[in-house]
Structure 1
Amino acid sequence: MPHIRFATLDDVALITRHRHQMFADNDFGGPAALNAMDPAFAAWLTRHLAAGTYIGLLLSEHEGSEVLAAGGIYLMDWPPHFLHVEPLRAYLLNFYTAPQARGRGYANAILDAAVKESRRRGASIVTLHASPFGRPIYEKYGFEQSNEMMLKGSAAR
């Protein structure tokens, strides 16, 4: 049975590599953009792991063995809304499974652990952005498409 543990500050480099590879595997960004992202993400991750607003979940086949899959929860302060009044939202990110471990149900195990941990910490709303690889897993779990839109920096009039 797989073992899931919480990430510590000692895992920042590993999680940063996973995030880089997750985007590379989906052909997002390109090498220059991903290399530029890595140090900025590592600094962000260090700050949020230390503050307890990022919870990393790391899965290995046995306690102490190589991490084969991972995911993260970013706990965000969120304004109360007519659909949910709780001032907390859990955003799932950095879901990654090593190529040699894909197809074993590890992504499902991390997803289930992340949703349960989000609920345990008081977040009744859990959101994410799905890659083409992840979308079927999230939909099967019960996630639904939302109406989010985005305006990027220089695109404003």
Structure 2
Amino acid sequence: MKNAFPYTFRLATLNDLETLVTHRFEMFSDMGMGEKMDIAAMRKAFIPWVKAQMEAGTYLTFLAEQDGQVVAGAALMLVNWPPGHLDASPMRGYLLNVYTHPEHRRKGLARMLVDQVMDECRRRKIKALSLHASEHGRPMYEKLGFQNTNEMRIILGAET
């Protein structure tokens, strides 16, 4: 009898660095930013950064696998944040790099991975979890209770 749900979940290890950088690039590519990215420069900068963050315990990636192959992931960055009106705790969560391989989409994997990130935040007593949503991902995040905020941004030194 075939397993009705053929996916397993685990935390990423340092052995998954190439997968994490590939997911990050593919995520941006799916949002139409692939041509604007220098993949070699991003890879060169991201791998040592994420390795150091993972070793420090401030970056966790929850992965979904099928038959030993990683097919989806969602990361949680733990951010030291000044206590404020949302939470007196000096820690916040930031959800990023949510990606599912195209042939595994529409099966609930992203939602299950985001649920795991939210559970990890609850376990750590982190109340504030934020993210930047793509247009494609926004409906899922809204269903989970995420709300739009008033964040603004400037890219300093960027050419106009």
Do the structures match in fold with TM over 0.5?
A: yes
Which structure 1 residue ranges, 4+ long, deviate > 6 Å from structure 2?
none
Residue equivalent to 2:16:
11
Matched, 1:70 2:73: yes
Instruction: Please tell me the residue identity of whatever aligns with 1:115.
Output: M
Give the corresponding residue for 1:127. Answer: 130
SS at match of 1:153: coil
Q: Which residue of structure 2 lines up, in the alignment, with residue 99 of structure 1?
A: 102
CA shift, 1:28, in A, is 1.5
The corresponding residue for 1:40 is 45
Alpha-carbon distance in structure 2 between the residues aligned to 1:104 and 1:71: 15
Please, which runs of 5 or more residues in structure 1 have no aligned partner?
Answer: none
Change (3 A) 1:143 1:32: closer
Shift of residue 141 of structure 1?
Answer: 0.6
1:25 aligns with 2:27: no
Give the partner amino acid of 2:39.
L
Q: What is the Cα deviation at residue 133 of structure 1?
A: 1.4
User: Which residue, out of 49, 55, 64, partners 1:59?
Assistant: 64
| CA positional deviation for 1:33 | 2.6
Return the offset for 1:38.
Answer: 1.7
Give the percent of matched residue pairs that are identical in Structure 1 and Structure 2: 40
Q: Does the CA contact (< 8 Å) of 2:53 and 2:59 recur in 1? A: yes
2:72 match: secondary structure: strand
TM-aligned CA deviation for residue 152 of structure 1: 1.5
In structure 1, how many angstroms separate the alpha carbons of the residues matched to 2:37 and 2:153?
A: 23
Amino acid of the structure 2 residue aligned with 1:42: I
Query: CA separation in 1, counterparts of 2:136 and 2:48?
Result: 27
Supply the distance in 1 between the matched residues of 2:23 and 2:114 (Cα, whole angstroms): 16
Q: Give the number of aligned pairs.
A: 153
